[in-house]
Amino acid sequence: MIIVKNSIVSDDVAERCFGCDLSCCKGACCVDGDSGAPLMEEEVEKIEAVLEKALPLMTAEGRAAVEQQGVAVRDKDGDLGTTLIDGGACAFINPGPDGCTFCALQGLYKPVSCHLYPIRVEDYGEFTAVNYHQWDICRAAQGKGEPLYVYLKEPLIRRFGQEWYDELLEQIELRNNG
């Protein structure tokens, strides 16, 4: 593990390569799963602010789910996430060509957890865990592309800040040369 400020970063973030390939998965991460995309409290307001622009891109079922439940709900564990359609797909799906699923929020406000995927962040009060979430639907992306910390540089900076990211780079360099 790598310690960066008050975060514990999984070795996988430094060592594993990843390269998302929509032609293989068709955006299944937005359709499969048992809860919506994790949200921070402050993101609900940001999604609500762009909702009118996202609605025309969403399915009728997605619009109905948001109308009934709002843009975010709490799951069985009390964690905040995007609203789901009948407990399945994210309400913000935007079906595209060739069976690919896109996000109606893309270009408006993408939740940080979606931007960071396949990295998942868990806050535990005194520290934050930063882990690589390996899911069968992403099998085609695993081992391809760049190391996760490089592939997800922009969302890591968005979530934790440039200073945190610079310290992560220093820690990885120390590990690799030490």
| pLDDT tens digit sequence for 97-150 | 888 889 999 999 999 999 999 999 998 989 999 999 988 888 888 888 999 999
At what angle are helices 162-177 and 153-160 packed, to 10 degrees?
120
Residue 32: predicted pLDDT? 83
Residues 103 and 33 both lie in one domain: yes
- Mean of pLDDT values over 87-95: 90
Q: How many structural domains comprise the chain?
A: 2
Range of the domain at 158: 1-19+111-178
Q: Which of 62, 77, 110 is the last residue of a domain?
A: 110
Residues 129 and 103 both lie in one domain: no
- Mean of pLDDT values over 12-37: 87
Residues 35 and 106 both lie in one domain: yes
Residues 49 and 97 both lie in one domain: yes
Task: Measure the CA–CA gap between 5 and 59, rounded to whole angstroms.
Answer: 41
Residues 126 and 58 both lie in one domain: no
Residues of the chain above pLDDT 70, percent: 99
Residue 65: predicted pLDDT? 96
Average pLDDT, the chain: 92
Residues 55 and 97 both lie in one domain: yes
Q: What are phi and psi of 123, to 5 degrees?
A: -90, 130
Q: Which of 92, 110, 128 is the last residue of a domain?
A: 110
Residues 85 and 70 both lie in one domain: yes
Q: Are 104 and 62 in contact (CB under 8 A)?
A: yes
Residue 30: predicted pLDDT? 82
Residue 135: predicted pLDDT? 84
- List, in sequence order, every residue forming a beta bridge with 101; answer none if it has no partner: 95
Residue 47: predicted pLDDT? 97
Q: Is residue 62 predicted with pLDDT exceeding 80?
A: yes
Residue 91: predicted pLDDT? 95
Residue 29: predicted pLDDT? 82
Task: Measure the CA–CA gap between 165 and 154, rounded to whole angstroms.
Answer: 9
Reduce the DSSP state of residue 26 to 3 states and report it.
coil
pLDDT digit string, tens, across residues 149-166 = 999 999 999 999 999 999
Residues of the chain above pLDDT 90, percent: 70
Residue 143: predicted pLDDT? 86
